[in-house]
Structure 1
Amino acid sequence: MLEKQHETKEAEALAELQQQIRQCRLCQDQAYIPVAHPIVSGRSTDRILVIGQAPGHRSVAQDRPFSGPGGRILQSWLEVAGFPPGYLHEHTYLSSLTRCDPGRNKSGHGDRKPSPAEMALCRPYLNAELRLLRPKVVLLVGTMAIEAFCGRVKLEECIGSYIEDNETFYLPLPHPSGVSRWLNDAEHKKLHQRALTILARWRDLYQL
């Protein structure tokens, strides 16, 4: 009974946090972006937390993180690790370093990377999610998410390994984007496969 009450309180606290995120206008107020549209997706029962860079325009349009090609690629990686179709959006908590679309890169190619100032404004939300969810596994998707938790490191130095902190495993993954050429290298593909093998082992061991 007490455990169920605790779970209910956690769910209520998370719902309140998600509402705060949706109402956030900090980056808009400081003119980093023209219009704020923060998005959230996940449940208090999710045991895998995915942290990306920032939502793109497709995700904002659909009000759902990882709605573009990157989401489909990430879902395919999960399936390689033994997770069922639809797992990404149905059973993982989807977060990011910033919650609004930063807009297009000034060069016109790809999305703009959020600035350190924007990430600093959003980081308390991410810290609160980690505190409330206490996920078993955190997938750090892409260089910016990896560096936010592991420091400056080359992908080939961290993909295929993981770090553990307070009984949570942090697994770096490359960005699931057709723009990234990192996975074109055969040795990099081996490291990526090693990472997915680790994730598959956790799936069985912790019944994710």
Structure 2
Amino acid sequence: MKSQPAIGRVEALTDLQQCIRQCQLCQDHGYIPVAHPIVSGRASDRIMVIGQAPGHRSIAQDRPFSGPGGRILQSWLEAAGFPAGYLHEHTYLSSLTRCDPGRNPRGHGDRKPSPSEMALCRPFLNAELRLLRPKVVLLVGTMAVEAFCGKIKLEDCIGSYIETEDGTLYLPLPHPSGVSRWLNDPAHKKLHQRALMLLADWRNRYNL
């Protein structure tokens, strides 16, 4: 049986999520026209996903990973032995920034949030990690990986993981989008499969 989180932690997370939803810092600083931060997750979640930023579909549905990337990420979880629906029902979904940065001005996908935007949001992410104390953190995409692992190529970290002093396991993953071409390389696919095998092992070992 999974132990239930302490009531105080549940209330603290509820308060934090309300603060995130009310945040308008990026709008006030002129980075985006209208702030619409989103959150998704429960204090009982033991896996946390950290992505780059929500896209327009996620904002429209008020739920992270509502677009094709979410479906791909769910398929990766299923490949590691997790059931259908696990991504949105049992995983805490977070990101480096909480609002849609808008379209890339060059016309290719979404705009990457700037270091200044990420700095404004980072206290929220740090607070979530402190409160949740997840067993596994999935770092999805280059920006999320570099935020925790430093400047590094995906091929040098996918298939490996970092374990912190408190026992949290950080697993780098490529970005689950049709825009990314990283998985087109057979060698990269093997690294990705190795990462999913690690996740499958942790699912059994830690009863995730």
TM-score by length of 1: 0.97
Distance 1:174 1:18 in 2: 27
Amino acid at match of 1:117: S
Uncovered stretches (5+) of structure 1, i.e. residues with no partner: none
Q: How does 1:63-82 map to 2 (within 5 A)?
A: 63-82=62-81
Does residue 197 in structure 1 map to residue 197 in structure 2?
Answer: yes
Distance 1:155 1:202 in 2: 21
Distance 1:42 1:92 in 2: 6
Structure 1 residue aligned with 2:55: 56
Amino acid at match of 1:14: L
Distance 1:37 1:182 in 2: 30
3-state DSSP class of the match of 2:6?
helix
Deviation, structure 1 residue 171: 0.0
Structure 2 residue aligned with 1:13: 12
Does residue 34 in structure 1 map to residue 22 in structure 2?
Answer: no
Deviation, structure 1 residue 151: 0.2
Structure 2 residue aligned with 1:155: 154
Moved over 6 A (4+): none
Deviation, structure 1 residue 108: 1.3
Structure 2 residue aligned with 1:176: 176
Identity of aligned residues (%): 80
Map Cα deviations across residues 79-110 of structure 1 (whole Å, 9 max, x no partner): 00000000000000000000000000001110
Distance 1:29 1:183 in 2: 38
Amino acid at match of 1:171: L
Map Cα deviations across residues 128-170 of structure 1 (whole Å, 9 max, x no partner): 0000000000000000000000000000000000001121000
Map Cα deviations across residues 47-103 of structure 1 (whole Å, 9 max, x no partner): 000000000000000000000000000000000000000000000000000000000
Distance 2:87 2:28 in 1: 32
Amino acid at match of 1:162: Y
Amino acid at match of 2:46: R
Distance 1:174 1:28 in 2: 29
Map Cα deviations across residues 31-58 of structure 1 (whole Å, 9 max, x no partner): 0000000000000000000000000000
Amino acid at match of 2:38: I
Q: How does 1:119-130 map to 2 (within 5 A)?
A: 119-130=118-129
Q: CA RMSD in A?
A: 0.9
3-state DSSP class of the match of 2:137?
strand
Uncovered stretches (5+) of structure 2, i.e. residues with no partner: none
Distance 2:91 2:29 in 1: 31
Distance 2:112 2:134 in 1: 26
Amino acid at match of 2:29: Q
Q: How does 1:77-116 map to 2 (within 5 A)?
A: 77-116=76-115
Between Structure 1 and Structure 2, how many residues are aligned?
205
Structure 1 residue aligned with 2:144: 145
